[in-house]
Amino acid sequence: MIRKFYNQFLSKDKELAAYVKAITGIAPAKLKLYRQVFQHRSKFGEPKDNNERLELLGDAILDAIVCDYLYKKYPYKEEGFITELRSKIVNRKSLNEVGDRLGLVEKLSYHRKSMTDVSRDLGGNTFEALIGAVYIDAGFEATSKFVLKRVLQGLIDVDELEQTNSDYKSRIFHYIQKEGKSIDFKVAEEKLRNRRAYFVIQLEISGKAIASGEGYSKKTAEQNAAMNAIKALGLDGVTE
């Protein structure tokens, strides 16, 4: 309690402490963790200084919280339903929107000139790092309350996502079958990002490149490529 009081009213980082409490509802005890949340590897090279490790931890904690929430919310749904809905909630687009709406990137310290291809993911990555910091600082239960109250009941409409058809591959395959054309997903690039495998997939229809997609798994990258192809072809209304 003394540490939390000091951080909020006497610390040189009291503005950061107030910001974290406003977002999470938690008075931070370990301010060093939260400073690290907003230190990107493009500017802070050492693992002990940047937010990559917190991001990795936060990704796992968020996944567990969301899975637990959906398991309890839908007691009679099968595994496939929960897996698909979880992926809609924790996908990069959703997390980036959450991070942006919380204003996390505005606090992030990074080299803008070196962030050409990953800047769009900064919001989601920083949000995951924040979850990692909250988990270490306050524990799983407090982190879960933060995610449930501020995110799943505030920034993301789970019921709306349940009704959203995000299986873009099925939709593009449906179109291809009707048109009598062929489709192919090719790995255009495979690289390391945040020390994890990262894929760029190119979608071709009858040998012609239509769109590409990216992700930390081939499945995610293929879904993103299919989504971009649907937009490029003007097929947003296509359903199975």
- What phi-psi label fits residue 194: left (phi over 0), alpha (psi between -120 and 50 degrees) or beta? left
Residue 64 structure tokens:
């567990």
Burial zone of 207 (CB within 10 Å; 0-12 exposed, 13-18 middle, 19+ buried)? exposed
> d(Cα 136, Cα 212) in Å, to the nearest integer?
37
Q: How far is CA 185 from each of CA 97, 211, 215, rounded to the nearest angstrom?
A: 27, 10, 14
Half-sphere exposure of 46 (CA within 13 A, CB side): 3
Q: Nearest 5°: phi and psi at 76?
A: -115, 10
Q: Is 204 among the catalytic positions?
A: no
> d(Cα 71, Cα 77) in Å, to the nearest integer?
8
Q: Nearest 5°: phi and psi at 51?
A: -95, 10
Catalytic entry in 52, 59, 121, 137: 59
> d(Cα 196, Cα 55) in Å, to the nearest integer?
12
3-state secondary structure at position 37: helix
Catalytic entry in 52, 55, 121, 128: 128
Strand partners, 202: 186, 212
Q: Which residues contact 93 (CB under 8 A, 6 or more apart)?
A: none
Helix or strand holding residue 193 (H, E): strand 183-193
Q: Is 59 among the catalytic positions?
A: yes
Kindly list the catalytic residues: 59, 128
